A and B are shown apart, each in its own frame.
Chain A
Amino acid sequence: MRIRRGFLRIAAVLSLLTGLTGCWANQSVDYRAIVLGIGFAPASHGRLAITVQVPNRNGLTGLTGANASASSSGPSVYTMTESGKTVGTGLVQIQGQTQDELYVGQVQLIAFSSRLDAKQVKLAENWLAQIGPLDKTAYVVATPHVRALFQKEPATGTLSTLQMLGGFSCVDCGVVTFRQHQWDLSIESLSPGYSLWMPYVTLTPTGFTSDRITVFRQEQPVWTLSPAETTNLGYVMGTTARGYLTVTENGEPVGIRFISASPHIRARIQNGRVHIDVTLKAAGTIDTLLRPTLSPQPLAQIEHQSERELAKQVLRVLTRLQRLGSDPNGFLAPLIWQSEPSWEDVSTWEQAYRQADITVHVVFRIKDIGDVG
């Protein structure tokens, strides 16, 4: 009886170890090609070009201070591109180019070409959502040149992708903190009424710039906003940390910086028409003022002017988005659904959204005056 019980225990442990684990297929890092970046771009004949970025010996040894000097000059990454009808076929071809197993468990950056069509974006997004080992915390960006982005060599010792991610992970480094993770994208693509958006990354001689975003109409890229428009949209999305605005007071220009806003959005239906009221409580610091002192009256005038100017600029962005049928981050959709649940159908919602009456109301407060913020 005792032996039988012991046997049962051992059998239970063994079945746990063999049955529940998904570890058998795993391999040591020694035999893995660690994919840091994966990109999707349009290819000929409606195919999808897949690009992967894998750090090479230079890139890996250059990370540690001791080996940084020892690493020889040359590229720090392998960039391999293949095209296929699906993501899988492209990756299989890439796998054929390398001895080690492509490992996507540590993908840090997913780059979508801004020239992809909705079908290709959908294809890529479906694959990303389905692939199990993929790190869903990876950042997602849109870029005009995927391969060039991955081939870009960093100015400093680290890898280019890690350098770019450093900018994304820093909350107060940019004017707008626009970060999009893969899991956000998966949720948005599955939620009706949501439009995708991604930070738009362009190459510069010294590195990267990511002060803009690309918005989609569902899965179709439709508009890459300018940096100023991105900032204005950021007020509504609550992601602008250091906005800038210029107004005139008595014919003299006044710069206001470090503008941040807390948005309050309310959607209501009146006589079958959607009314969207956006209220922004904004605050900023006067940057450039010709007169050294200010009396309360002109300060109030500057605030009033700022309210009007900011409302106008934000409304302009929202109106264009409305015209394109794009609702990045889906900030309006839940409000409309709450009012009229039957509008969950995308076409009904889009029609209602396009005909919606949008008003923007800004309450502006100058919280400081000076050149140093």
Chain B
Amino acid sequence: MPSNLSHPNFATSARIVDLLDDLTQSAGHLSEWLGVLLNEYRQTGEWDKFSGSVDAAYQRIQSMLGPAPDIVLRPFTIGPAAIPALLAYVSGQVNTVLMDRDLYHISQLPVQNTEQLAAALTSQFLTVGQPKRETQWPRMLPAMLSGRALLFMEGVPEAWVLDTAQPPAASISPSVAEPSLKGPQEAFSSVLETQMDQLRRRIPDPGMQFELFTIGTQTHTKVLLIHMAGVANPAIVGAVKSRLKGIRRAAVHTSNDIAEYLGPQRWTIFPQVRFSDRVDLVARNLCDGKVAVLTANDPTALILPNTLMDFFQTTQDYALPWSYATLTRTSRFVGLAIGLFLMPLYIALSSVNADLFPVQLLLTAAGSRLGIPFPPITEVIIMWGILEILIEAANRLPQQMATTIGIIGAVVVGTAIVKAGLIDSIMIVVATLSALSLFTIPALELAATMRWLFWLFVVSSSIFGVFGLLVMIIIVLAHLATMENYGVPYLSPFGPLRIADLKDSLIRFPMPRLRKRPIFLRTIDPGASDPLRVKPKTRLLRRQREVR
């Protein structure tokens, strides 16, 4: 017998039998499916319309969704006339307590026929929010799969779509990606309804408007466009809206899937949409007249339009006194300058324009480079490669191990690489300082841009020296000057110069002096605050009497 089983003919026969089984099953499914379709088509004259038959609905859902264990199809009868009905929903996505209560109420309705039932449901059925009536299957099923319950009643050619969705409980945690020393720490939840609630609590103003879009033919992802009516420029809101409407994708999994459609310039390396999971940052930007976009299942909000300057600002700047904010902002720009230009300058001076080096520094550099086998550009590539690996390793590891990796990278590799004579000591200093400086940029999306620029500058300066560096800076500046983000010049408030907006740019003026919303946003209501009219002069007496 074993010899027969291992015979090739036997194996081929087994495969043929399996194949025939599959074909038979598929033919059965197809026949069932076609039967349901034809049955409904005969009654309605349309392929996608619900016929009013509960049995047909049952079969159609079953045939379309297959044997899914989370799909609940619950036939029951309503009233003394025992009108057949069907409730369909996805378990785990609906509020079961609410469902049981409503189901009980519906089944007890004292109705004798479908007309009475429809009337009773319309007038008495108030327990669940936003009930809708739907006749088309292509709209019914996605609604059910996103947490709503479908109620079918025999003889009623429409289904009731009941808002029984229960969003998964998600705790509100502090922002990890954008930490702040002081002020609010709250990050967005992943659940869209909770996100809306978080914003509502910060801006309980009727002017805040939400507009829902469903994007993704597969994922049916809910995307919310939020703006402050009466503040945000309608042209900007309209432009974002039309872009959202124009997105045709099968799947939207993250907010970045949307963001890359919203940036007016597709091929620029400069970020146009700001990502943030901080509720306070989004709320502040909305109040300033910007537009936010929230994506279901992603705690990251998109804010737009933005200028280059916006990516250097954090909510911490507003949570701390103006003097501190100004200092930190300035240090960010100094960091940027060091991060972007220190390494290219070092390479330009040591590789090309040695005559521009101060002699003492040149001799020190030449001394430190004695015996180094690589030119400076190769050293940078090695150093930066190590740095990127360390960053990526630290990102992938738990916090405790990431610290260890940092120490290993900084101390062990850094020291060892100098001892091995692969990199000169000045290069270590310059590379470390450059890397640290680039990390002062608060927005992650801009940090990546700066790393690109860093490489552009390094390569141009290694070939053409200071001249190449200057040419590259001019090219980048020219590119920035041509950029517009929904009509907002990207270099605002510096180009074109907006004096009033400078108060909240490199520096931050005290709050009472920030009376205007950003001019470059061309908001409907430019005023953000009125001047402080009350200027009490407090006189303290030597013996203060109680005021009666």
Binding site for B on A (CB under 8 A): 13, 16-17, 20-21, 23, 26-30, 32, 34, 36, 55, 57, 59-64, 66-67, 103, 105-106, 108, 133, 135, 159, 162
A343 to chain B: closest CB distance in Å? 40
Question: Within the assembled complex, what's the spacing in Å between the Cα atoms of A27 and B369?
Answer: 14
User: How far apart sit A66 and B424, CA to CA, in the bound complex (Å)?
Assistant: 13
Is B495 at the interface (CB under 8 A from chain A)? Answer: no
Interface locus among B149-157, B346-354, B382-390:
B346-354
26 A-B contacts (beta carbon < 8 Å)? A13-B475, A16-B471, A17-B471, A21-B468, A23-B352, A23-B353, A23-B463, A26-B351, A26-B352, A26-B465, A28-B351, A28-B352, A28-B375, A29-B354, A29-B362, A29-B365, A29-B366, A30-B369, A34-B366, A55-B366, A60-B370, A61-B370, A66-B425, A105-B355, A106-B357, A108-B359
Shortest distance between the CB of A170 and any CB in chain B (Å): 15
With a cutoff of 8 Å between Cβ atoms, the chain B residues found around residue A57 in the complex are 370
Query: Which residues of B are found within 8 Å of A60, using beta-carbon distances?
Result: 363, 366-367, 370
- Given A60-B363, A64-B367, A106-B362, A133 and B355 touching (CB < 8 A)? yes
Question: Lowest 10 A-B CB distances belong to which pairs?
Answer: A105-B355, A60-B367, A26-B352, A23-B465, A28-B351, A29-B366, A61-B367, A23-B464, A23-B352, A21-B467
A-facing mask of B468-500, CB < 8 A → 1, else 0? 100100010000000000000000000000000
Contacts of B250 in A (CB 8 A): none
Min CB distance B299 to A, Å, is: 40
Does B372 have its Cβ within 8 Å of any Cβ on chain A? yes
Q: Which of B354, B360, B464, B475 contacts A105 (CB 8 A)?
A: B354
The answer to whether B359 and A106 have CB atoms under 8 Å apart is: yes
Minimum CB–CB distance for A306 against chain B, Å: 42
Expressed in whole angstroms, the Cα–Cα distance for A368 and B351 within the complex equals 55
CB contacts under 8 Å to A, within B385-428, are 425
B binding-site residues for A, Cβ under 8 Å: 350-355, 357, 359-360, 362-370, 372, 375-376, 425, 463-465, 467-468, 471, 475
B363 touches A159 (CB 8 A): yes
Give the residue name and chain of the B residue nearest to A165 (CB).
B359
Contacts A23-B353, A103-B354, A105-B354 given; indicate if A28 touches B376 (C-beta within 8 A): yes
Question: Bound complex: CA of A162 vs CA of B376, how far in Å?
Answer: 26
Residues in chain B near residue A36, CB distance under 8 A: 359
Number of inter-chain CB pairs below 8 Å: 81
The answer for the CA separation of A16 and B474 in the assembled complex, in Å, is 12
For B347, the closest partner residue in chain A by CB is A28
Does the CB pair B467–A20 fall under 8 Å? yes
Closest Cβ neighbor of B357 among chain A residues: A106
The one of B350, B464, B468 in contact with A28, judged by C-beta atoms closer than 8 angstroms, is B350
Contact of B363 among A21, A55, A105 (CB under 8 A): A55
- The answer to whether B354 touches A106, judged by C-beta atoms less than 8 angstroms apart, is yes
Residues on B with C-beta less than 8 A from A23 are 352-353, 463-465, 467-468
> Cβ of A135 and Cβ of B355 under 8 Å apart?
yes
Asked if residues A64 and B364 are in contact (CB atoms below 8 Å), the reply is yes
Min CB gap B353→A, angstroms: 7
Residue in B closest to A20 when the chains form the complex, CB atoms: B467
Contact A17 to B367, CB < 8 A, known contacts A28-B350, A103-B354: no
- Contact indicator B354/A13 (Cβ below 8 Å): no
Q: Kindly report which residue of chain B lies nearest to residue A137, judged by CB atoms.
A: B359
CB-defined contacts of B376 to chain A, threshold 8 Å: 28
A63→B364 CA distance, assembly (Å): 6
Q: With a CB–CB cut-off of 8 A, which chain A residues contact B465? A: 21, 23, 26
Chain B contacts of A17 at CB under 8 A? 464, 468, 471
Q: Which residues of A contact B363 (CB under 8 A)?
A: 34, 55, 59-60, 63, 159
Residue on B nearest A22 in the bound complex, by CB: B467
Q: A13-B475, A28-B352, A60-B366 are in contact. List 8 more A-B contacts (CB 8 A).
A: A23-B352, A26-B353, A26-B465, A29-B350, A32-B366, A64-B364, A106-B354, A135-B355
Which residues of B sit under 8 angstroms from A108, Cβ to Cβ? 359
B276: shortest Cβ distance to chain A, in Å? Answer: 34
Q: How far is the CA of A27 from the CA of B355 in the complex (A)?
A: 11
Minimum Cβ distance to chain B for residue A324 (Å):
36
Rounded to whole angstroms, the CA-CA distance of A105 and B350 in the bound complex is 13
B368: contacting residue among A27, A32, A64, A106, CB under 8 A: A64
Chain B residues with Cβ below 8 Å from A103 are 354
- Tell me the minimal C-beta distance from B357 to chain A in angstroms: 7
**What is the chain B residue whose CB lies nearest that of A18?**
B464
Q: Which residues of A contact B365 (CB under 8 A)?
A: 29
Q: How far is the CB of A38 from chain B (nearest CB, A)?
A: 14
A21: B residues at CB distance < 8 A: 464-465, 467-468
With contacts A28-B375, A57-B370, A60-B367 taken as known, whether A106 is within 8 angstroms of B355 at the C-beta atoms is: yes
Question: Which A residues touch B471, using CB under 8 A?
Answer: 13, 16-17
How far is B376's CA from A180's CA once the two chains are assembled, in angstroms?
A: 36
CA distance A284 to B174 in the complex (A): 73
